[in-house]
Chains A and B, each alone.
Chain A
Amino acid sequence: MAEPLIRFRGVTKVYGSGDAAVAALKGVDLSIDRGEFVAVMGPSGSGKSTAMNILGCLDTPTSGSYDFMGAPVGDLSRDQQALLRRHYLGFVFQGFNLLPRTSALENVEMPLIYRGVPAHERRRLALAALEKVGLQHRADHDPNELSGGQQQRVAIARAIAAEPQVMLADEPTGNLDTATSKDVMNLLTELNRREGITIVMVTHEPDMAAYAQRVIHFLDGHIAADGPHEEAA
């Protein structure tokens, strides 16, 4: 694997300016390869969310470079970032973020609409994604008719429907109980192993981080530790 999927070189991020300036990232070097399952940990304000936003092309670094699939993406325009997210990234959020009063199937179809996939093909792909998360029989249900765990699985189906290069999960089990969390983590592990999807997951819980092959600890805008989970934990 010559080229890492994701490479940060000396990435910094400063919010505000002058005396009010706050440095959220103070020079981060990081590379993630294709097929990895990485957990990102760290206390609030450690810079892990900022790093995830930059990684997800929702934000741009103040300085340093970010290469995605070997191409510099650190200073793309908003529209270019949107295209990159559309074609290469999938997002899973702590609060599920499904569209209310919209069926599971339609939620999963949404990223495919922006990709311009024709209706019947879209439906097929969305159903396939729902099948991968074991919810094909809930396709017509609205989010409020589903349990938390089911909603998160729909969200995961939405993230993988467009077959992204990376799935970015921001505390995917933060709103779930322990048993459901385990189900979701098993699902992510399975998707990582079987489908080869690269996963970068932010979490507070060492139990969840234990599912990952690699754990990165953020502290005060730096990477404090980076390695297989046994050592990092």
Chain B
Amino acid sequence: MLYETLKLSIRTIRRNVLRSILTVLGVVIGVAAVIVMVTLGQGTSAQVTSDVAKLGSNILMVRAGQAGFGPASATADSRNFDIKDVEAVENEVAGVAVAAPMVSRNLTAISGNINHAQQVIGTDNRYFVARDWDVSSGRTFTDGEIQAGSASCILGATTSQALFQGSDPVGETIRLRSIACKVIGVLASKGNSGFGQDQDDLIVMPLKAVQRRIVGHPDIQLMYVSVDSAYKTSDVQAGIEDLLRERRQVGPDDRDNFSVQDMAQIASMLTSISGVLTGLLSAVAGVSLLVGGIGIMNIMLVSVTERTREIGIRLAIGAQARQVLLQFLVEAVVLSLFGGVLGIALGLGLAAIGGRFLSVPFILNPTIVAIAFVFSALVGVAFGYFPARRAARLDPIEALRHE
């Protein structure tokens, strides 16, 4: 019986293809919007998460200077860190696995007749540990190179490609300003960060080499701190803050003249922003589904009126009220499922295209597809029930007399 009803409703819908499509347009748009939003939203958060993972796991970035915007207070001491601060953070704060010092400058490197501008970072091997980064060829620094601050360079993959056009640069020499720098290694590629930066466009040199020969002072702007996975990042963050306030003599009422940022926090902030956007747009999509449902109800009411005589015949022949109800309800559900399926297809298509333009990965979420499917069926039940009940309550004598 249900099969017969289903067959019947599919046929009725096929008889009025254009009308059916126009009827379910609201559902199509609503479902498509939800699918696009959720798919792109999830793609974005997946990308942010993987970008943060690329930065290294459980990373805290410690910067000198006040965090945030607005004028610095008069007493602000924005002096940089020195190497002792780095050692103190690494040795005195529980849960710090590695603290890597870092200074950086943007410089042009020259190899033969090729110029290429990139970031030059002064640090030591702890940087590679903190960022979970390996060389793809050559080696990292020796202790001697770090102690002496010798002119040894490790190139990022992009920089290596730009300067050496694919040939192995290990053993070659590049020039940075007046410094001749021997290439000892090339880093594995990490790809773009979520902040639109090519992470592979860099040259890493020993800290002392950059301090003495490039920036000209022994300051450290930034520390990369890797947190031992057995500790909570927030506890370690608090430990670093306490230590640095003491070392930098920040009064109990003064603002910190440094900042400790948790990369996971930044990531979760970005993710939550995309979550809020997804929520807002889903609400808009919900309104569209509501409008779509009303459209279905409208056309079902028209259909009941148009087919009053048919209902009368069916009732006279022996259909029970609930069978007529079922017939029209199934028709409404099939109609809105038809809209739902169109919407899912449209939504996935748009998400794939949009994802390509926004360079967000396309992540097919079967759950949301299933939810959209079920939801469009529910729209059919909710908005088809009233017209179906009206059909079922018709008096067969009256219905047969209907012109």
Give the residue among B310, B318, B321, B322 with the most A Cβ atoms within 10 A.
B318
Give per-residue flags for A76-111: 1 if the beta carbon is below 8 A from chain B beta carbons, else 0.
001100110111010101000101010000000011
A85–B320 CA distance with the chains assembled, in angstroms: 10
The reply to whether A93 and B400 contact each other, CB–CB distance below 8 Å, is yes
A24 to chain B, nearest CB (A): 12
Partner of A99, one of B313, B321, B323, B396: B313
Tell which of A112-120, A123-131, A144-152 binds the partner: A112-120
A99 vs B8: C-alpha distance when bound (angstroms): 12
Of A36-44, A51-59, A223-231, the one touching chain B: A51-59
Residues of B within 8 A of A101 (CB): 15
Residues 294-336 of B, flagged 1 when their CB comes within 8 A of A and 0 if not, give: 0000000000000001101111111111110000000000000
Per-residue 0/1 for B242-259: is the Cβ within 8 Å of any A Cβ (1 yes, 0 no)?
Answer: 000000000000000000
Roughly how many angstroms separate A91 CA and B313 CA in the complex, as a whole number? 9
Which one of A59, A78, A79, A85 lies within 8 Å of B317 (CB-CB)?
A85
Q: How far is the CB of B393 from chain A (nearest CB, A)?
A: 9
Whole-angstrom CA separation of A170 from B312 in the bound complex: 15
- Known pairs A78-B321, A79-B320; A110 contacts B400 (CB<8 A): no
Q: How far is the CB of A126 from chain B (nearest CB, A)?
A: 13
Across the two chains, which residue of chain A brings its CB closest to B403? A95
Is B1 an interface position by the 8 A CB rule? yes
Is A91 touching B316 in the complex (CB atoms < 8 A)?
yes
Residues from chain B with Cβ under 8 Å of A97 in the complex? 309, 312-313, 400
Size category of the A interface is 20 to 34
> Is there an interface contact between A99 and B318, defined as CB atoms closer than 8 Å?
no
Is A82's CB under 8 angstroms from B318's CB? yes
Contact B1 A116 (CB under 8 A): yes
B314 engages A58 (CB within 8 Å)? no
Query: Assuming the A-B contacts A58-B396, A99-B310, are A114 and B317 also in contact, with contact meaning beta carbons closer than 8 angstroms in the complex?
Result: yes
Contacts of B1 in A (CB 8 A): 113, 116
Task: Please determine whether A83 and B320 come into contact, CB atoms closer than 8 angstroms.
Answer: yes
B397 at the interface (CB under 8 A from A): yes
CA–CA, A97 to B1, complex, Å? Answer: 22
Known contacts A97-B309, A101-B15: A79-B319 contact under CB 8 Å: no
B313 touches A85 (CB 8 A): no
- For B15, the chain A residues whose CB sits under 8 A away are 101
Q: Tell me if B's interface is mostly helix, strand, loop or mixed.
A: helix
Cβ contacts under 8 Å, B397 to chain A:
53, 58-59
Tell me the nearest residue of chain B to A89, going by C-beta: B318
Q: Which of B312, B313, B321, B400 contacts A82 (CB 8 A)?
A: B321
List B contacts of A85 (CB < 8 A): 316-318
In angstroms, Cα B314 to Cα A111, docked, is 8
Chain B nearest Cβ from A199, distance in angstroms: 16
Contact B320 A91 (CB under 8 A): no
What are the residues of chain A within 8 A of B314 when measuring CB–CB?
A: 110, 114
By a CB distance below 8 angstroms, the chain A residues around B319 are: 82, 86, 114
Contacts of A93 on B, CB cut-off 8 Å? 400
Cα–Cα distance between A116 and B319 once the two chains are bound (Å): 11
Chain B positions within 8 Å of A83 at CB level:
318, 320
Query: What CA separation (Å) do A37 and B109 show in the bound complex?
Result: 111
Q: Whole-angstrom distance from the CB of B263 to the nearest CB of chain A?
A: 65
In the assembled complex, which residues on chain A have CB atoms less than 8 Å from the CB atom of B396?
58
Q: How far is the CA of A151 from the CA of B282 in the complex (A)?
A: 53
Q: In A14-65, which residues have CB < 8 Å from any B CB?
A: 53, 56, 58-59
Bits for B211-224, please: 1 = Cβ < 8 Å to A, else 0. 00000000000000
* A residues less than 8 Å from B323 (CB atoms): 114
Cβ-neighbour of A79 out of B309, B313, B321, B400 (below 8 A) = B321
- Give Cα A116–Cα B5 distance, bound, in whole angstroms: 12
Contact status A111-B318, CB under 8 Å:
yes
B318 interface neighbour in A53, A59, A86, Cβ under 8 Å: A86
Q: Are A113 and B4 in contact (CB under 8 A)?
A: yes
Q: Is the CB of A110 within 8 A of B317?
A: yes
Residues of A within 8 A of B309 (CB): 97
Query: For the complex, what is the distance from the CA of A114 to the CA of B316, rounded to whole Å?
Result: 11
Chain B residues with Cβ under 8 A from A158's Cβ? 317
Given contacts A58-B397, A97-B313, A101-B15, contact A115 B321 (CB under 8 A): no
Q: A58-B396, A93-B400, A97-B400 are in contact. Are A82 and B320 (CB under 8 A)?
A: yes
Q: A97-B309, A101-B15 are in contact. Are A115 and B318 (CB under 8 A)?
A: yes
- Residues from chain B with a CB closer than 8 A to the CB of A56 are 316
| Cα–Cα, bound, A115→B310 (Å) | 18
User: Which residues does chain B contribute within 8 Å of A89, judged by CB atoms?
Assistant: 318
Q: Give the residues in chain B near A115, CB-CB below 8 Å.
A: 318
Task: Tell me the chain B residues, 264-310 only, with Cβ under 8 Å from chain A.
Answer: 309-310
Q: Is the CB of B317 within 8 A of A86?
A: yes
With the chains together, A85 CA to B323 CA distance in Å?
14
Q: How far is the CA of A190 from the CA of B317 in the complex (A)?
A: 23
Check B310–A114 contact: CB distance below 8 A. no
Contact flags B336-370 to A (C-beta < 8 A → 1, else 0): 00000000000000000000000000000000000
What is the interface of chain B, defined by CB distance below 8 A to chain A? 1, 4, 15, 309-310, 312-323, 396-397, 400
Q: List 22 A-B contacts (CB under 8 A).
A: A56-B316, A58-B396, A78-B320, A78-B321, A79-B322, A82-B315, A82-B319, A83-B320, A85-B317, A85-B318, A86-B317, A86-B319, A89-B318, A91-B317, A97-B312, A99-B310, A110-B314, A111-B317, A113-B1, A113-B4, A114-B314, A114-B323
For the complex with contacts A93-B400, A97-B313, 10 further pairs of A-B residues with Cβ separation under 8 Å are A58-B316, A78-B320, A79-B320, A79-B322, A82-B321, A86-B319, A110-B317, A111-B318, A114-B317, A115-B318
